[in-house]
Amino acid sequence: GMGDEVYSISVLGTGGVGKSALTLRFIRDIFVEEWDPTIEDAYRKTVEVDDKLCTIEILDTAGQDDFLTLRPQWMLEKDAYVFVYSMTSQNTLKELEHFYELHEQMNDNRKVPIILVANKKDLISDSTEFVSKDDGKEMAKMWNAKYIESSAFNGENVENIFKECIREVRKVNAPPEKKKSGFFSFCNV
C-alpha cells in the first residue's frame, strides 16, 4: 500500500565478487552463473521484516575500473550500502576501502548503515581460507558495519543481508528512545 516503507540500497564492490548473483538470488531465488558484468540494474522487492512490510529497491552496480567515475552516483541518497567482497580474494576486501572513503566524503554527518558481506562462502573450507575471517571482521568493526558471510550459490544468509540492512536503517530512523532512568520513572509515579 501507499504507507509502505521504501528503502533504497546499493550493492557495491569490485567486479566478480557476486553483487549480481546475490541480488538475483534475493529477488528471484535463482543462482546466475553467467551474468553480463556490465549490466547495472535496479530491482524492487516487497518483503516482511520483523512483521512490517517494506519495499526494498536494490541498485546492482557494475564495479569495473572503467566505471570509477560512477561510484559517487551509485552511493548518492541511499539508505544503506551492501559492501561485497569474495572470501576467495584478499584484494576484493581491500578494494572496498575506496567505497568507504567515498562514503566518508559524501555522507559527512548522515549515518548510512553498511553491511559488509563476505560472499562465496561455499567455496571456502578451513584449508582454503584465502581471506581470514578475522580480516573481514576487523574491517567491519573499523567501519561500524555488520559482518555477514554469504553464498549466492546456495543462498546462505542472502535474505539476511537485505533484512539486516532494513533493521539498521530503522534503527537510524527511530526516534530517540525515551530512556526510563531511575530518576524519571520515580518522577512519573
Q: Which residues bind ligand GDP (CB under 6 A)?
A: 13, 15-21, 32-33, 35, 37, 119-120, 122-123, 151-153
- Minimum distance from CB of 108 to ligand GDP (Å)? 28
In the complex with ligand GDP, the residue whose CB is nearer, 5 or 156, is 156
Kindly report the number of other CB atoms within 10 A of residue 158's CB atom.
Answer: 25
Stretch 20-79 residues interacting with Mg ion (CB under 5 A): 20
Stretch that binds Mg ion, among 16-24, 78-86, 104-112, 161-169 (CB under 5 A): 16-24
Taking CA 20 as the corner, what is the angle to CA 18 and CA 26, rounded to the nearest 5 degrees? 100
Number of residues that bind Mg ion (CB under 5 A): 2
Question: From the list ligand GDP, Mg ion, none, which binds 153 (C-beta under 5 to 8 Å, kind-based)?
Answer: ligand GDP
Q: Is 10 in the site for Mg ion (CB under 5 A)?
A: no
Amino acid occupying residue 119: N
Instruction: Choose among ligand GDP, Mg ion, none what residue 166 binds, the Cβ cut-off being 5 to 8 Å by kind.
Output: none
Task: Give the distance from CA 38 to its chain's centroid.
Answer: 20
d(CA 119, CA 19): 9
- Contacts with Mg ion by CB under 5 A lie at 19-20
